[in-house]
A and B are shown apart, each in its own frame.
Chain A
Amino acid sequence: MDSLFDAIRDEGFSRVVGPVARDGAIVYRDIASAADLPRGVRDRQAPGTYRLESQEDGVRAFSWANGAQALKPLTFAPRETLWRCERDESGRLAFRDLAQEHEPTAVIGVRACDLAALQIHEQHFLKPPYPDPHYAARRSSLFLVAVHCSHPADTCFCASTGDGPRAESGYDLAMSELDEGFVVTAATDRGRAVLAAMGLDPASSVQQGKADREVEAAALGQGRSLPSRNLKDALYARLEHAHWDHVGRRCLSCGNCTAVCPTCFCHAEQDEPALTGETSEHLRQWDSCFTAVHSYMGHFLVREETRLRYRQWLTHKLASWHEQYGRSGCVGCGRCIAWCPVGIDITAEVTALMESGDAQS
């Protein structure tokens, strides 16, 4: 692993971000060497629950599924200043774009679900004719090292959405972790340059086979699933289903699911004028369809009730998303299940909605 860090830095990526075990979860932070990685750490996830366990004799650094967040905050910043406005000497307002270059950063340990979500975000933020310069600057600063998933959590269902556990595209390097080391493949020129610089031995067919079987087992081991990759018509037919009330009674409308969802991109913009009134900054920050203001228009709330907020989230994610982006907005990472404080399980809610044939029941 240390040869990877050296090769990445030699390629010009001075900052390395990777998983560490901190505050009881896997979180992505700046790391200096392979020693910072969560070796021997396993995650136990269930609806509303996340726990880390340490195995003293564990040799693997990636024997966990995911933490609350991975790539999203690195590309779509939770809060950033977009532009600044100030009066010039003649008293006229001058606007300054604050889009900036970001330090070249390598991210180690990106999962297949996060890469699938990244592709959706690229579609959303970078599509012509109005690509988002702030997103573009962050995205183009990244070198991505994927790790194929061998230890899915109980909350994972990427196999059913078709987004994992193998990282298929969108990375520079991809690695399979075995007890004796890593099987590494490159997908881009700069990835190949890093791979060549690492000076690794070719993987044996036995090692390759072992790596493949682990990913296959990770897919088969997933207990949760969504009933279809396209639920658009099925959900539109159930907009008045009684189950929305049922989930609305449990839902806290706290927005945790949307914050941890790697594809949720809703944001709010606001101005923060300095007290003197001479300058003002325009901010963008993560918003959620579970907040009241998200549906505020013309002096009324479109979605006052929790049931309507949950319905908005689920039907956008799994239904109208198809119209916008040609696929579902769910990549099966299971984060919304584990990080919901009251353990609402998207797969169980969809199943309950689908079980009743009577759409109006």
Chain B
Amino acid sequence: MPVTSRTQTTALERLNTRENARPRVAVHKFSSCDGCQLAFINAGEALLELAQLVEIVHFAEAGPMDPEAAVDIAFVEGSISTPEESERIQAVRANSRFMVSLGACATSGGLQALRNFNADGATGWTEAVYAQPEFINSLDTATPVAEHVKVDLELWGCPVNARQVFQAVRQLLFGVAPVVDKDKLCVECKRQQHVCVLVAKGIPCMGPVTHTGCGALCPAFGRDCYACFGPAENPNTTSLSRRFEGLGLMPESVAKRFHFINSHAPAFRTEWLAWKERS
């Protein structure tokens, strides 16, 4: 039987053989606004409780810095948008037992994925926005983490819901697979007894195709959902967009409902394309 010398084991293998240590956690940032990391920081007391339960070894926004540390759980915020990021995500994956992508950018490419639909990628926009675009080195696309490495759990939302994040952490600490509710937003909206804005006001609410998780925030204030949590399971975007057309939306406006924060998500991408071709 071949003997593996200690020097040949990876950092992750050594992590896996530890005993009685607190799980090590890292929060990594890629292309994003940092809003999902704020879900941790804004959690206040819960973050302090978490710090007792786990060892937070890397979380630049909160203080600890050790980006190359091997960890039990790696949270990843942001899309893969630069050549540097496409290399760094591989290293993060290699150093992580369990990887959780956090928020719209990490799960679908986010708002910046709108550039994926440009023939010249980000070039035109970069030149329009930056005084010295030659210093910008970005990929033509902004893509979800799962298109680059294996992701064990995706938590959608712009931003993610802190309650959902901490529930997932708790389940991981118990050693069980986290369960994420993928139902439509309507299920939660009705539980909270909000009046349906689509039916009672005739406004184009995305709730019937959108992943629950936010707590039905927008309908609670009489606003239409704009799908920041991305597509729900089994989304019938075709039927809903036909309804939007019936409400008086022009094809271009119907297309835009799907071409926003989660434009790169396949269900929304397909529906956007179908209506763009008609407009």
Residues of A whose CB lies within 8 Å of any CB of B are 22-25, 27, 48-51, 67-69, 73, 78-79, 249-256, 259-260, 270, 272-277, 285-288, 291-293, 304, 306, 338-343
Contacts and interface: CB of A to CB of B under 8 A. Distances in A.
Interface in B185-206: 186-187, 190-196, 198-202, 205
A121 B186 CA distance: 23
B49 interface: yes
B246 to A, nearest CB: 8
Given A255-B184, A256-B196, 20 more contacts: A23-B194, A24-B200, A50-B200, A68-B196, A78-B190, A78-B191, A252-B239, A254-B186, A254-B207, A270-B179, A275-B49, A275-B53, A275-B170, A277-B174, A286-B187, A292-B233, A306-B236, A341-B198, A342-B208, A342-B239
Contacts of A67: 195
B209 interface: yes
Contacts of A304: 234
A272 B163 CA distance: 10
Chain B interface main SS type: helix
A273 B179 CA distance: 13
B30 to A, nearest CB: 26
A291 B191 contact: no
B173 interface: yes
Given A272-B167, A292-B182, A341-B243, A253 B234 contact: yes
B13 to A, nearest CB: 27
A119 B114 CA distance: 53
A27 B191 contact: no
Contacts of A275: 46, 49-50, 53, 166, 169-170
Contacts of A270: 179
Contacts of A338: 199
B162 to A, nearest CB: 11
B64 interface: no
Contacts of A255: 183-184, 186-187, 190
A285 to B, nearest CB: 6
B192 A78 contact: yes
A267 to B, nearest CB: 10
Contacts, number: 129
A338 B170 CA distance: 41
B201 A24 contact: yes
A256 B236 CA distance: 14
Contacts of A23: 194-195, 200, 222
A252 B208 contact: yes
- Sorted from nearest, which 9 A-B pairs have the closest CB atoms? A259-B190, A78-B191, A24-B200, A23-B195, A254-B208, A254-B186, A252-B208, A25-B195, A254-B184
20 contacts: A22-B195, A50-B199, A50-B200, A79-B191, A252-B239, A253-B234, A254-B184, A255-B183, A274-B170, A276-B53, A286-B187, A286-B190, A291-B184, A293-B181, A293-B183, A306-B234, A340-B199, A341-B243, A342-B239, A342-B243
Contacts of B139: none
A256 B190 contact: yes
Determine the interface band of chain B, counting residues with CB < 8 A from chain A: 35 or more
B240 interface: yes
Contacts of B50: 275
Interface in B96-121: none
A50 B243 CA distance: 15
A252 B196 contact: no
Given A254-B184, A286-B191, A291-B183, A277 B173 contact: yes
A27 B170 CA distance: 37
B239 A288 contact: no
B221 to A, nearest CB: 10
B240 A276 contact: no
Interface string B212-230: 0000000000100000000
A276 B49 contact: yes
A292 B234 contact: yes
Nearest to B196: A339
Contacts of A285: 191
Nearest to A24: B200
Nearest to B191: A78
Contacts of A342: 208, 239-240, 242-243
Contacts of B192: 78
